[in-house]
A and B are shown apart, each in its own frame.
Chain A
Amino acid sequence: GENVEQHPSTLSVQEGDSAVIKCTYSDSASNYFPWYKQELGKRPQLIIDIRSNVGEKKDQRIAVTLNKTAKHFSLHITETQPEDSAVYFCAASRAGDDKIIFGKGTRLHILP
């Protein structure tokens, strides 16, 4: 089955700097890759997603890139702000599959 690896597990960046979180997946049939942000005690909140027919997608300060050949995808957050502090999960899913397979998460700390 699908396995999603995510790193780093913890990331600290100065406010205003960029943060990059990287994930790899094992199943070449996966074609949908959502990213979730989870604040302490809250729900996982979908922040951006990308499908395998696209190499890059951007939404304001957040962008995601996908390399299907290498089976890896990354989340980029620019001009980080204190409210970006949270745990970020990457995930993968196959077409027609119901389940989303999550990575183990990255705890992002934005330092003042």
Chain B
Amino acid sequence: EPEVTQTPSHQVTQMGQEVILRCVPISNHLYFYWYRQILGQKVEFLVSFYNNEISEKSEIFDDQFSVERPDGSNFTLKIRSTKLEDSAMYFCASSDYRVLGNQPQHFGDGTRLSIL
């Protein structure tokens, strides 16, 4: 069964540094998402991406965040100047083309981001 893959599995970064999290969505999927999960809390939506542009973003996704699909397979999340509160598990997800109603979102294994 095809899966969403994410790298690295764990990223440790000094506060103020830039970090890039990488994802390879399921190959025939068209919608891509980033979510985060602070330890012990619920999963929170950050941003969605379709047709090479952001289609929706949450209030968490401020100017420090950006997303990019640099080629036909990768989907990245960049945090420009990391803060301690950015420490969380970041999940990438993807879903198929929507005809009628939302399609299931399939999640990767996540990247645990630790800001020191």
Binding site for B on A (CB under 8 A): 31-32, 34, 36, 42-46, 49, 51, 89, 93, 95-105
Interface 0/1 of B37-76, CB less than 8 Å to A: 0000111110010100001101000000000000000000
A93 proximity list for chain B (CB < 8 A): 102
Q: A43-B107, A43-B110 are in contact. Are A95 and B91 (CB under 8 A)?
A: no
Q: Which residues of B contact A (CB under 8 A)?
A: 4, 31, 33, 35, 41-45, 48, 50, 55-56, 58, 91, 101-102, 104-110
Count, A-B residue pairs, CB within 8 A: 57
**Bound Cα distance from A31 to B98, whole angstroms:** 14
Contact assessment for B105 and A34 in the assembled complex, using a CB-CB cutoff below 8 Å: yes
Given contacts A98-B56, A100-B45, whether A51 and B108 have CB atoms under 8 Å apart is no
B42 proximity list for chain A (CB < 8 A): 89, 102-105
Judging by beta carbons under 8 Å apart, are A43 and B108 in contact? yes
13 contacts between A and B (CB under 8 A): A31-B101, A36-B107, A42-B109, A43-B109, A43-B110, A44-B43, A89-B43, A93-B102, A95-B101, A98-B33, A98-B56, A100-B105, A103-B42
